[in-house]
Chains A and B, each alone.
Chain A
Amino acid sequence: KIRLDVQSAFPLATPSAGENATYFGDRINRLSHGELEVKVYGAGKLVPSLQIFDAVQQGTLDAGMTSPHYVAGRFPAVQFFGGAPFGLDPVRHADWIYNGGGGEIWSEIYEAQGVKTIPCGLMGAESGGWYNFRIESTEDLKGKKIRFAGLAGSVMAKLGASVVLLPLSEVYPGLERGVIDGAEVSMPAIDTLFGLQQVSQYFYLPGWHQPSAMNELIINLNKWDSFDAEQQSLIYETCKAINLSSIMSTETLNAKAVSDFEAAGVEILPFPDTVLNDLRMAFDSVVTEQASKDGDFRRVWDSLQAYRADISAWSDRN
């Protein structure tokens, strides 16, 4: 009987991202005929979410259900797996990772660190963000204080916004009191839990900064090697099942949340095309800068572009 302690980077009650961990524990415990004993811990119970990777790498924690974004400071390249601006739609994102060569580079980067990674938790598009000012042109972003993370944060900064780092718990009061003018948190189903519709006037779509995302199950490599082939495949296939349940779990919830936002008096607006264009151009230059500094970043970006080219005969027309 092998025990596997898994800590989630998200509160277990969070739709999809958090629920995936509970789903994983339930299935493995049931399907492994008692050979594996998974114990799932909620966010922060043992180790802070940002440090899950370190703890797994050192073997103090067996495994984590987390997002590649949490290690962006160490391996900037993996942000593309965790969901990047102007990325693919969810099914193609998964296809790129599973069959298009993306997953191999991902595994390679982590395995050099002694960590096994398994795609585990496919997510749909996020909200384009909450704002208390109208975005009619790129000029409107200049000097505005907004909370945006990761590559998207750099894109916004490039267009003249003043990007603020704010803990998640400070977003609501920050918007309420005008400390910030806008913020990106997650998808509508999760945004609604923070009550952002009560403190924002405008809700923008599409979620250009993250049209899809893949979370991950990371396991200490020694621990992973201690499983036999059947157990390994059980874990791998369970994660594949989770990808489907994860992406399905939020479609209706998102729709309901957006209707609630509307009912609460929030104006739902589309980003103007000119703004989206400028964002895309800013993103391209951010990518070029990063790619010149980091070899893996370039490799992953090239792989993503190659996949795009491979499917373009179909995807451009569909």
Chain B
Amino acid sequence: MVRPQLSTVVAVSQALAAIQWFTLRVGQASALFVPLLMVTVVLNVTLRYIFSIGSIQLEELQWHLNAVAVMGCMAWAYQKDVHVRVDVFRNRMSPRVRAGIEAVGVLVLLLPFLWFVTVSAWSIFGYSWHLKEGSPMPSGLPARYLIKFVMAAGLSLLFLQSLAVLGRSLLVLVSTEPSA
């Protein structure tokens, strides 16, 4: 078996670490949008039930905040291995086999899926940006393209993170001996 040069391994590891760091930071920041959403809902309820004031912008803000939390953490969830797996057989697999499956999964399933979806997500954002799209409600929030950007960016970050997972799995494959 051909061993890759140590310097290559180090360079690749550093690149992977950079991606992981970025995903982590974006995820941690986005997660704070959950309590922010809670505060918004409480504020909205208070205004509506106590002061009889209804605000369409405040209502729309709720799903905007939720969308940031969801899209911002999707890549981080893959990094932390939170996404649901069926691990009936996985539990009995060697780390090498698992790394192999992960690599094939990224290459054959996740990347093709993300490729198609992310490309159209960016074009949806581009179109919305071009039109300076706002809420269909005249008194709603402006700049709906921001949230379309969040969608496209979140998917792209997952794309990036899946490359990191791929790299990590390949490193496991080349740096461990096949089990006898």
Q: Would A and B touch once assembled, by the CB under 8 A criterion?
A: yes
Q: Mark A116-160, 1 if CB is under 8 A from B, else 0.
A: 000000000000000000000000001101000111011001000
Whether A149 pairs with B137 at a CB distance below 8 angstroms is: yes
List the interface of chain A (C-beta within 8 A of B).
Answer: 50, 54, 57-58, 60, 69-76, 142-143, 145, 149-151, 153-154, 157, 161-165, 286, 289-290
Taking the nearest CB of chain A, how far is it from the CB of B118, in angstroms? 15
Whether B48 pairs with A145 at a CB distance below 8 angstroms is: yes
Can you list the 5 inter-chain pairs with the closest CB atoms, starting with the nearest?
A162-B54, A143-B52, A73-B136, A72-B136, A154-B138
Taking the nearest CB of chain B, how far is it from the CB of A10, in angstroms? 16
CB neighbours of B137 from chain A (8 A): 72-73, 149-150, 153-154, 165
Whether A164 pairs with B133 at a CB distance below 8 angstroms is: no
Taking the nearest CB of chain B, how far is it from the CB of A38, in angstroms? 25
Give complex CA distance A70, B137 in Å: 10
Q: Within 8 Å of chain A (Cβ to Cβ): is B6?
A: no
Contact of B138 among A75, A76, A142 (CB under 8 A): A76
CB neighbours of A290 from chain B (8 A): 138
List the interface of chain B (C-beta within 8 A of A).
Answer: 48, 52-54, 56, 59-60, 120, 123-124, 127-128, 131, 133-140, 144
CB neighbours of A75 from chain B (8 A): 131
Give complex CA distance A286, B137 in Å: 12
Whether A54 pairs with B127 at a CB distance below 8 angstroms is: yes
Taking the nearest CB of chain A, how far is it from the CB of B51, in angstroms? 9
Whether B60 pairs with A165 at a CB distance below 8 angstroms is: yes
Question: How many residue-residue contacts, CB under 8 A, span A and B?
Answer: 65
Pull 18 A–B residue pairs with CB atoms less than 8 Å apart, ordered by A: A57-B127, A58-B124, A58-B127, A60-B120, A70-B136, A72-B136, A73-B144, A75-B131, A143-B53, A145-B48, A150-B137, A153-B56, A154-B137, A161-B54, A163-B54, A163-B56, A165-B60, A289-B138
Tell me the nearest residue of chain B to A70, going by C-beta: B136
Known contacts A73-B137, A153-B137; 7 additional CB pairs below 8 A are A54-B127, A58-B124, A70-B136, A72-B136, A73-B135, A74-B131, A162-B53
Taking the nearest CB of chain B, how far is it from the CB of A286, in angstroms? 7
Give complex CA distance A272, B137 in Å: 26
The answer to whether residues A150 and B136 also contact, given A73-B144, A162-B54, A165-B56 and a CB cut-off of 8 A, is yes
Give complex CA distance A315, B135 in Å: 35
Whether B134 pairs with A73 at a CB distance below 8 angstroms is: yes
Whether B133 pairs with A74 at a CB distance below 8 angstroms is: yes
Taking the nearest CB of chain A, how far is it from the CB of B164, in angstroms? 30
Tell me the nearest residue of chain A to B62, going by C-beta: A165
Whether A54 pairs with B136 at a CB distance below 8 angstroms is: no
Tell me the nearest residue of chain A to B137, going by C-beta: A153
Whether B138 pairs with A164 at a CB distance below 8 angstroms is: no
Whether B59 pairs with A164 at a CB distance below 8 angstroms is: yes
CB neighbours of B53 from chain A (8 A): 143, 162
Taking the nearest CB of chain B, how far is it from the CB of A37, in angstroms? 26
Give complex CA distance A149, B56 in Å: 11
CB neighbours of B135 from chain A (8 A): 73
Taking the nearest CB of chain B, how far is it from the CB of A105, in angstroms? 17
Whether A58 pairs with B120 at a CB distance below 8 angstroms is: yes
Give complex CA distance A149, B138 in Å: 9
Contact of A145 among B54, B128, B140 (CB under 8 A): B54
The answer to whether residues A157 and B144 also contact, given A76-B138, A165-B137 and a CB cut-off of 8 A, is no
Taking the nearest CB of chain B, how far is it from the CB of A211, in angstroms? 19
Whether B138 pairs with A286 at a CB distance below 8 angstroms is: yes
Tell me the nearest residue of chain A to B140, going by C-beta: A73
Give complex CA distance A283, B88 in Å: 62
Taking the nearest CB of chain A, how far is it from the CB of B159, in angstroms? 20
Taking the nearest CB of chain B, how far is it from the CB of A144, in angstroms? 8
Whether A58 pairs with B56 at a CB distance below 8 angstroms is: no
Taking the nearest CB of chain A, how far is it from the CB of B11, in angstroms? 39
